[in-house]
Structure 1
Amino acid sequence: MTTYGVLGVGSIAEAIVLGLCRHVADPPAVVLSPRSAERSARLAVELPSVRVAVDNQAVVDESDVVLVCLRPVDAVEVVEGLDFRDGQAVVSAVAGLSVARLAELVAPATDVARSIPLPAVATRESTTPVHPATPAVTDLFDRLGGSLVVDDELAYESVAAASATVAAYFRYLGTVAGWLSERGIPQAEASRYVADTFAALSSELGHPGADFVALAQAHATPGGLNEQFARDLADAGVYDAVRAGLDAVVSRIAPT
């Protein structure tokens, strides 16, 4: 059975480990770096197939597939100081670190791929974009909800940029809830109402080939309030700003 090693145990790495090992009949062995010691120790206590290595090199030495989940600012420095081996697979979740550059850092390992995992991999409910479709990366994320293979690296970077919209989405919901609170609805009740409203809409996204234009039209009765609000946002340039923001993110994370 494959042994997975994890360099950098942040929130995404934790979600991957939970998806691999929690409530699974035959979980794989996972070796964690001592980075983020409290989180690593907690996972090792909770999950019998998980252990913490003495250092990052031990993670590499003991693993068949190494998951690089380091912060972009730290990744190159950490990885280039480690010795990988021929036949070993490397899966990166580091934004902006190209396949070519990663391959240079982990040589002589040649089975190299990138991924954009989201927190929902913890419950095996998220499709993860991967590039390229190596056996190691697709096997990993097929265990965690599925793999979305993106063959072109520029297209892959665009998907990565789209994943950066989550915080803005929650800020949007928070703005709506805050507006309600300013008009006399208790904050907790306002937040609950907004959360329930949008959670109830999630079922509409669960079908293959979700059509966002059709969904928007279905919720915008001609002359109605939804139509007015959407039009006002368009007139204010909100949707143009979304596109411009995505362009800026892509420019920031262009492969190095």
Structure 2
Amino acid sequence: MTTYGVLGVGSIATAIVTGLCDGVPEPPVVVLSPRNAARAAELAARFPSVRVAADNQAVVDAGDVVLVCLRPADAAGVLDGLRFRTRHAVVSAVAGLSVGRLAELVAPATDIARSIPLPAVATRDSVTPVQPATPAVTEIFGRLGGSLEVRDETAYEAVGAASATVAAYFRYLGTISGWLTERGVPGAEARRYVADTFAALSAELGTPGADFDALARAHATPGGLNEQLARDLDEAGVYAAVRAGLDAVLVRTGPR
């Protein structure tokens, strides 16, 4: 069975390890870097097939597939100091780290791919964009909900930028629940109401070929309240600001 070495144990790495091991009859062996010691120890205590290595080189030495889950600012410096071998397959989850630059850092390894995993891989409910669709990257994300190859590099970078919208989404929901609380609805009840309202809409997103414009129209009765708020946000430039924000993220995360 494949042994996975994980460099960097942040939230995405934690989600990946959880998805690989939680409730799985035969979970793979996972070797974690010790950098985030508390989180690594917690995962090792939770899952019998997970252990913490002495250092990053020990992670690489133990792994058949090395998952790079380092922060973009740290990735090049960490990888440049490690010794990879031709036998290694490398899967990166580092934003903006191009396949070409990754190949330079992990040479002589040549089995290299990038990925954009989201927290939902922890419950194996998320399809993960990858480039290119190597056997190693499709195998690991096949365990975690599936993979989606995005062959064009420009399109791949745009998908990566779009993944930065999650925090803004939750702040949007938080703004609604906060507004309700300011008007007398207890905080816990306001949050539960907003969470239930939007969770109920998830079934509409699960249909093949979900059409967001059509869904918006379906929920905006002419002259109704949904139509009014959508129009007011449009006139206030909210949707234009979303596009501008995505452009700014794309500039920041473009390939290096």
TM-score w.r.t. structure 1 length?
0.98
1:26 has 2:26 as partner? yes
State the partner residue of 2:84: 84
Aligned-partner SS, 1:94: coil
Find the aligned partners of 2:2 and 2:250 in 1 and give their Cα distance.
34
1:249: Cα distance to partner? Answer: 0.5
Match of 2:5 in 1: 5
Alpha carbon RMSD of aligned pairs, Å?
0.8
Counterpart code for 2:214: A
Matches within 5 A, 1:80-159: 80-159=80-159
Which shifted more, 164-173 or 177-186? 177-186
The reply on whether 1:194 has 2:194 as its aligned counterpart is: yes
Tell me the equivalent position of 1:247: 247
Name the residue aligned to 2:175: 175
Amino acid at match of 1:240: A
Aligned amino acid, residue 235 of structure 2:
D
Q: How many residues are paired up?
A: 256
The 5-angstrom pairing of residues 60-75 of structure 1 reads 60-75=60-75
Q: Deviations over 1:174-202 (max 9, x none)?
A: 11111111111122211111111111111
The answer to which of 100-109 and 183-192 deviates more is 183-192
Q: Describe the superposition over 1:70-109 as per-residue Cα deviations: whole angstroms up to 9, x where unpaired.
A: 1111111000000000121000001111110000000000
Aligned to 1:216: 216
Q: Partners of 2:36 and 2:11 in 1: how far apart?
A: 10
Which moves more between the two structures, 197-206 or 102-111?
Answer: 197-206
Q: Secondary structure at the match of 2:57?
A: helix
**What amino acid is the match of 1:25?**
P
Indicate the percent of aligned positions where both proteins have the same amino acid: 77
State the AA in 2 paired with 1:201: L
Amino acid at match of 2:103: A
Separation (CA, whole Å) in 2 of partners of 1:49 and 1:55 = 18
Which amino acid in 2 is paired with 1:55?
D
Query: Can you give the 5+ residue segments of structure 1 that lack an aligned partner in the other structure?
Result: none
Q: Secondary structure at the match of 2:148?
A: strand
Spell out, residue by residue over 1:89-144, the C-alpha distance to the aligned partner (whole angstroms, 9 max, x if none).
Answer: 00000111111000000000001111111111011110001011111001110110
Q: What SS does structure 2 have at the residue aligned with 1:179? A: helix
- Letter aligned with residue 128 of structure 2: T
| Matches of 1:17 and 1:255, distance apart in 2 | 26
Counterpart residue identity of residue 99, structure 1: V
Structure 1 residue runs of 4 or more that deviate by more than 3 Å after TM superposition: none
Provide the secondary structure at the position in 2 that maps to 1:112.
Answer: strand
Listed as ranges, the matches of 1:35-74 within 5 Å are 35-74=35-74
Name 1:231's counterpart in structure 2: 231
**d(CA) in 1 for partners of 2:176 and 2:46?**
38
- Determine the C-alpha separation between the residues in 1 that align with 2:48 and 2:208: 36
User: What are structure 2's unaligned runs of at least 5 residues?
Assistant: none
Q: What letter matches 1:233 in structure 2?
A: L
| Matched AA of 1:216 | A
Counterpart CA distance in 2 for 1:98 and 1:237 is 33
Partner Cα distance (2:76, 2:43) in 1: 26
Residues 39-87 of structure 1: CA deviation (Å, up to 9, x unaligned)? 1111111111111111000000011000000111111100000000012
SS across alignment from 2:122: helix
- d(CA) in 2 for partners of 1:233, 1:176: 14
